[in-house]
Amino acid sequence: MKAFFARFRWAPALMAALAPVAPTHAQALADVCRPVEEPVVGGWARYRLRGAADSTEMRLALVGGGAWGGAPHVWQESLVPTPAGETVIQSLVPANPYDPTTVRRAIIRAPGQAPVEVPASALAAMKQRAQGTASLDACRTGQAIGWETIDVPAGRLRAMHVQYSREGRTADVWLAPAVPFALVRSIVTGPGATDLVELVLIGHGRNAVPTVPLPPGSPP
């Protein structure tokens, strides 16, 4: 067959087309996103969040398993610094698939105060401010650009570059399957020229434990 094609000038191009192809970016993105949909308890990632006027740090972690209505859930913990100290927010969210925007229960400990459970009437507001959704948005609605090697404070990582748009905002996201939540860096640009938010990974690990004891009792 090769000898036959060699008689024609276009043979190399045709033979290249018949050769096995490497996985597409879309296939690679599906592999990257698999651990995002089913995160593992113990994973944590710390980020630097920079806006147009200021910057801060935050940590996301999965610190325990749970259940709700017979379905597996997970306790997600966010540590957010404030001038008075660190605020701890624990949220019980679906685990499979992972959905941090569906908050079943929530515990908040403000600096210098005892932990309190958030009333059910206030959980909807927490959904609007849910953390850890950039990687999910990229996985579920984004377009894979390709693999890139990027340098962040957490080190040099090979990550999949993904772009997506949502609610008038555009986002460039870099995902690496070895990182909990997969998120290495994100740049979200809003309608305004100065409306830009950047999230960058500064550390990660697999040994997270609750900062505040998880509440006793089983959910309904």
Instruction: State which H helix or E strand residue 139 sits in.
Output: helix 134-141
- Predicted confidence at residue 31, as pLDDT, reads 86
| Beta strands 105-109; 85-94: pairing state | antiparallel
Q: In which element (H, E) is residue 3 found?
A: helix 2-5
pLDDT at 1 over 60: no
**Residue recorded with tokens 């008689």:** 7
Tell me the average pLDDT across 25-47.
87
In this predicted model, what pLDDT tens digit does every residue of 99-154 receive, in sequence order? 888 899 999 999 999 999 999 888 877 765 555 578 888 998 899 999 999 999 99
Would you kindly state where each structural domain of the chain is located, as residue ranges?
33-205
pLDDT confidence of residue 193: 58
- Under 8 Å between Cβ of 171 and 134: yes
Q: pLDDT class for 22, splitting at 50, 70, 90? A: very low
% of the chain with per-residue pLDDT over 90: 49
Q: What is the DSSP letter of 64?
A: E
Backbone dihedral region of 153: left (phi > 0), alpha (psi from -120 to 50 degrees) or beta? alpha
| CATH number 3.90.550 is the correct assignment for the domain at 33-205 | no
φ, ψ dihedrals at 25, nearest 5° = -60, -35
Residue with tokens 């096995």: 20
For residue 12, is pLDDT > 50? no
What pLDDT score does 18 carry?
37
* Mean pLDDT, range 88-97, rounded to an integer: 91
In the block, residue with structure tokens 């290495």: 184
